[in-house]
Amino acid sequence: MMGLQSLLVLLLVAGSFVYAAWALMPQLVRRGLAQGLLRWPLPRSIAGYLRQAARAPAGCNCSGCDRAPAKVKQGNRPGPTDGLLAKPLIFHPRKRD
pLDDT, tens digit only, all 97 positions of the chain: 778 999 999 999 999 999 999 889 888 888 889 989 889 888 898 888 888 888 877 665 555 555 555 545 455 555 555 556 677 888 888 888 7
93: left (phi over 0), alpha (psi -120 to 50) or beta: beta
- 58 within 8 A of 66, measured Cβ to Cβ: no
Task: Domain of residue 34: give its range.
Answer: 1-58
Helix (H) or strand (E) segment spanning residue 52 = helix 44-54
CA angle 23, 29, 35 (to 5 degrees): 100
Q: How many domains does the chain have?
A: 1
- Asked whether residue 10 is assigned to any structural domain, the reply reads yes
- Asked whether residue 32 is assigned to any structural domain, the reply reads yes
pTM, rounded to two decimals: 0.52
